[in-house]
Amino acid sequence: MRPTLWVLSPFVFKLCYGSPYNPLLTSYNLNTNQTATSPLYYHTNRSNTTYTPSPQNWRSLPIYTVLLDKLSNGDPTNDDFFQTPFESDPGSPGSSGGGTQLRFGGDIKGLGDERVLDYLEGMGVGVVYVAGTVFVNEVWEGDGYSPLDFSVIDPHWGTWEDWVEVVDRVHGRGMNGQLKGHKNLLKGTFEGIEQVGTTFGSMNCKVLVW
Cβ atoms of 30 and 44 within 8 Å: the answer is yes
Distance CA 115, CA 119 (A): 6
Q: Does 112 bind Ca ion (CB under 5 A)?
A: no
Q: How many CB atoms lie within 10 A of CB 100?
A: 15
Q: Does 87 bind Ca ion (CB under 5 A)?
A: no
Q: Does 155 bind Ca ion (CB under 5 A)?
A: no
Indicate the length of the chain as a whole number: 210
Distance CA 148, CA 135 (A): 7
DSSP string, 140-170: T-TTS-SEEEEEEE-TTT--HHHHHHHHHHH
Sites for Ca ion among residues 5-64 (CB under 5 A): none
Computed over its alpha carbons, how large is the radius of gyration of the chain? 18
Q: How far is the CB of 80 from Ca ion (least distance, A)?
A: 9
Q: Does 137 bind Ca ion (CB under 5 A)?
A: no
Q: Which region, judged by CB under 5 A, interacts with Ca ion, from 29-37, 46-54, 103-111, 178-186?
A: 103-111
Candidates 69, 80, 87, 107; binder of Ca ion (CB under 5 A) is 107
Q: Does 72 bind Ca ion (CB under 5 A)?
A: no
Q: Does 75 bind Ca ion (CB under 5 A)?
A: yes
Q: Which region, judged by CB under 5 A, interacts with Ca ion, from 47-55, 62-70, 99-107, 139-147?
A: 99-107
Which residues would be at the binding site for Ca ion (CB under 5 A)? 73, 75, 78-79, 105, 107
